[in-house]
Amino acid sequence: MEQRIRVLIIDDHPLFRQGIRWSLEEAGDMEVVGEAENGQEAIKLAERLSPDVVLVDINLPGLNGLEVARVIKRREPRVGLIVISVYEDDEQLFQAIKVGAAAYSSKDVHPRDLVRMIREVARGKYLINDSVIAKPHVATRVLHQFRELAATEDERTSALFAPLTSREIEILDCIARGLSNKEIATQLSISGQTVKNHITSILSKLQVNDRTMAVIYAIQRGWIRMGYDGHHSHAVGEKRSS
C-alpha cells in the first residue's frame, strides 16, 4: 500500500481545522498527523511529527503564519508549505514566496482542489509559480527582489551561483530590471539570438520554465534579502564581461 501523505494543520479556528481533517481523511491517501492553533505549538509539532505537507493560516494569534512558515521551512527544508488566508492578497502572496511556500490559497478553496493541491505539493511541485505569473504586479516585484541580493561576493554566494557564468548573471540582472530581450541585446551590445541562447542556458541550469520562475527559484532558496524598500542593488557576482 502506498504511504499516505502526512499533513499538519495550523489554524486557530477549531471548526475550520475539523472541516479540513474530514476532507483529507475522505481522500484516502492522506493522514492528518497533528493540529495546532498557534505558532509556537505548530513549530514544536512540525519538528516532532515530520509532516510531508503543512497547511498554515496567515492570521494566527501571536506569531503570525508567515513567521511560523519561515521557521518550519528553515528547520525542515523538505516539508511542503501551503499558506492559506481568508482572502487572496498580492502582498501576502509575495511574502508567502519569500518564506518558501509551495502554494498559496484563499480559505474558500473547494475541498477537492485543496486535496489536489496537497498531493502536488507532496510530490515537490511549486504551484505558487502559477499564482505569481498570473499577477503581473507581483511578478514585477519578484523580479525587483532579485536585485536585493547581497552586493558582496563570499564563498556561500559564489557557490550558489557557480552554475551561472558572469554573463548569465548580468542578463539576469537585466531581467530583474524588467528589460525585454531586445533591450537586453541593445544594452549589452550583443545579438537578440545571443540573449535568447543565454536565457535558454539559465533556464536549463536552474531547471525552470521561464524568466520569472528563474527569479522565484532564487527566492525559494534563500538567495534573496528579506527586506524590500524599492531600492535596487546588483546581483551577486555581477561582472561586466564581453
**CATH number of this structure's domain 138-220, picked from the four choices 1.10.10.10, 3.40.50.300, 3.90.70.10, 3.30.420.10:** 1.10.10.10
What burial letters (b/e) apply to 20-57, b meaning 16+ CB within 10 Å?
A: beebbeebeebebbbbbbebebbbebbeeeebbbbbbb
Q: Is the pLDDT of residue 108 over 90?
A: no
Looking at residue 8, its pLDDT comes to 96
Mean pLDDT rounded to a whole number for the chain: 78
CATH of domain 5-134: 3.40.50.2300
Looking at residue 48, its pLDDT comes to 93
* Dist CA 100 CA 222 (whole Å): 8
* Dist CA 184 CA 198 (whole Å): 11
Domain coordinates of the chain in residue numbers?
5-134, 138-220
Looking at residue 186, its pLDDT comes to 94
Beta-carbon count within 10 A of 71 CB: 18
Confidence of residue 116 (pLDDT cuts 50, 70, 90): very high
Higher pLDDT, 213 or 233: 213
**Alpha-carbon radius of gyration of the chain:** 20
Q: Per residue in 144-197, pLDDT tens?
A: 665 554 344 444 444 444 466 778 877 877 776 778 899 999 999 999 999 999
Looking at residue 221, its pLDDT comes to 60
